[in-house]
Structure 1
Amino acid sequence: LGALVQGLEASNRLYTGGPFDWFSPFPIMCGFALIIGYALLGSTWLIIKTEHKLQVWARKVSGWMLMALVAAMIAVTVSMFFSDIDALEGWFSFPGLLYLAPMPLIVVLLFFLMRKDLNTEREYRPFLLTVALFLMGYIGVCFAIFPYIVPYQMTIYEAAAADTSLSFMLIGAVIMLPIILSYTAFAYYTFKGKSDHNPMY
């Protein structure tokens, strides 16, 4: 993700960078931030799926991960300003600036709500707030690299397939999407309910 935001080297629609172009400070920092975000997502999911001592532990871990994510997001944002990244142009130029202006306030609000919820009996909202934090991050990334599909080299319009190919893919999506949603719903139904710290024999 960090390497994509940073930009890829390409020429004549071919990748011309090296195998370790991702191995630089900004992509590595993004990688650690993403790991922390996934840990927060997992720990808030455990709040929903557990009770008693295990849920108390999950709430405690969620609090740690939330603070770590705050630090990671600040570090990534500050790092962008000191890196040669074209994504900043998408953030600080019109009309992107107008659309993204409320996002820092929304993110701060989400953090405060989540911090409060972790000290209450709420179970579902911490997970949903974490999903909302991820959504804010992905909206920022989309604004940063739009309209590129290969950042700063190839736009989505240049990379788009022919209309006939896209139509064929649409038919496949219409058929497969309900199937995927059905077995996903079945899996959630099968594993519904809560677990606690007591082993089952």
Structure 2
Amino acid sequence: MDYALIWYGLIGLAVLIYVILDGFDLGIGILFPSAHSDDERDMMMNSVAPVWDGNETWLVLGGGGLFAVFPLAYAVIMPALYAPLIIMLLGLILRGVSFEYRFRTKRGKFLWDTSFFLGSLLATLMQGVMLGTLLQGIDVDGRQYAGSWFGWLTPFSLFCALGLLCAYTLLGACWLIMKLPTDLMGRYYTIAKRWGLAFVACIAVTSIWLPITNHLVFERWFTFPNVFLFLIIPVAAAACVWQLFKSLLDHKALRAYLCGIGLFLISALGFGVSTFPYLVPFALTYSETAAPESSLKFLLVGAVILLPMIIAYTAYSYWVFRGKLKHGEGYH
């Protein structure tokens, strides 16, 4: 049994769940300045208050798992991403503080509104930059990072940051359609359409840009028989896009949100196809960076016990706080 491959899948799953779950509440933070009233901002924040900190459990699981299971990958990737990672964490801290203080002040409320927006924006952009850096590849010399401190700052990584910004904002708008009262949710259909179009455009540009600039990715997607085998991915993406906009036009909020998640899943599949079996693209594979097999087995026992528990309490929290918000209720 390939325990390193199992952990490759588990770490990828944890990161994907984080992106999906924390994506919509970061998107709400990005949409915060567009709210028409203080009451609307209260309800936007209340829509994620019961679940936002639980969503970030998956970020800890992904980062901690990478350190424990793929220590060499951690040692190479972290120096390449120190700057955006630190900025992202500062953004998440700013968001967390604003959650607690915003409802406990009146004169300084504007300050924490701004903090919530800036924290969400910084975290989103830095996550996109890190994604772009991984997609374009990391310079490695032997077993260590060989690039510069600003190696992550490239046109491609910045474009990926824009794409993730559009994606998170789309999810945030769809979430607000599901959660806000009827009198507040209407205009978010239009917002979701606009950001959805921008997200689709970013996916299209990235899908062309990356193969053109990376011959390994080009060969993976456009050589025989891969070109026929992987054709299902763009076809599925096109179908998902069609359903997304059809749902928004038909005012089917839940279906639109699920289609948005579907685009995330298809994009993640495309990322996996482009980079597998590399864990440090395109230098070190998952098997080259894995911990000893005895460690992988030992940690897998804990994962088998804990992962179902985390999934269960996450699902339960969403179930308990399902349905639309009402005016005057929420986090205080």
State the TM-score, normalized to the length of structure 2. 0.56
Residue 177 of structure 2 corresponds to residue 47 of structure 1:
yes
1:22-171 → structure 2 map (5 Å cutoff): 22-84=152-214, 86-171=216-301
Cross-structure match for 2:305: 175
- The ranges of structure 1 where at least 4 consecutive aligned residues each deviate by more than 4 angstroms after the TM superposition are none
| 1:89–1:144 Cα contact (<8 Å) kept | no
- Which piece of structure 1 moves more, 171-180 or 93-102? 93-102
| Alpha-carbon offset, residue 155 of structure 1 | 1.0
- The number of residues matched between the two structures is 200
Q: Secondary structure at the match of 1:170?
A: helix
| Alpha-carbon offset, residue 41 of structure 1 | 1.3
- Which piece of structure 1 moves more, 26-35 or 157-166? 157-166
Write the distance in 1 (CA, Å) between the matches of 2:294 and 2:177: 46
Consecutive unaligned residues of structure 1, counting only runs of 5 or more, are none
Higher normalized helix content (fraction of residues): 2
Write the distance in 1 (CA, Å) between the matches of 2:248 and 2:183: 14
Consecutive unaligned residues of structure 2, counting only runs of 5 or more, are 1-130
| Alpha-carbon offset, residue 53 of structure 1 | 2.6
- Which piece of structure 1 moves more, 180-189 or 75-84? 75-84
| Alpha-carbon offset, residue 84 of structure 1 | 4.2
- Give the residue type in structure 1 aligned to 2:222: F
| Alpha-carbon offset, residue 33 of structure 1 | 0.2
Q: Secondary structure at the match of 1:118?
A: helix
Q: Secondary structure at the match of 2:198?
A: helix
Alpha-carbon RMSD across the aligned residues, in angstroms, is 1.9
| Alpha-carbon offset, residue 82 of structure 1 | 4.5
| 2:217–2:274 Cα contact (<8 Å) kept | yes
Residue 147 of structure 2 corresponds to residue 20 of structure 1:
no
- Which piece of structure 1 moves more, 35-44 or 87-96? 87-96
- Give the residue type in structure 1 aligned to 2:208: V
- Which piece of structure 1 moves more, 22-31 or 85-94? 85-94
Write the distance in 2 (CA, Å) between the matches of 1:94 and 1:46: 44
State the TM-score, normalized to the length of structure 1. 0.90
| 2:176–2:185 Cα contact (<8 Å) kept | yes
| Alpha-carbon offset, residue 57 of structure 1 | 2.1
| 2:167–2:199 Cα contact (<8 Å) kept | yes
Write the distance in 2 (CA, Å) between the matches of 1:9 and 1:28: 18
| Alpha-carbon offset, residue 102 of structure 1 | 2.2
Residue 136 of structure 2 corresponds to residue 6 of structure 1:
yes
- Which piece of structure 1 moves more, 140-149 or 120-129? 120-129
Identity of aligned residues (%): 34
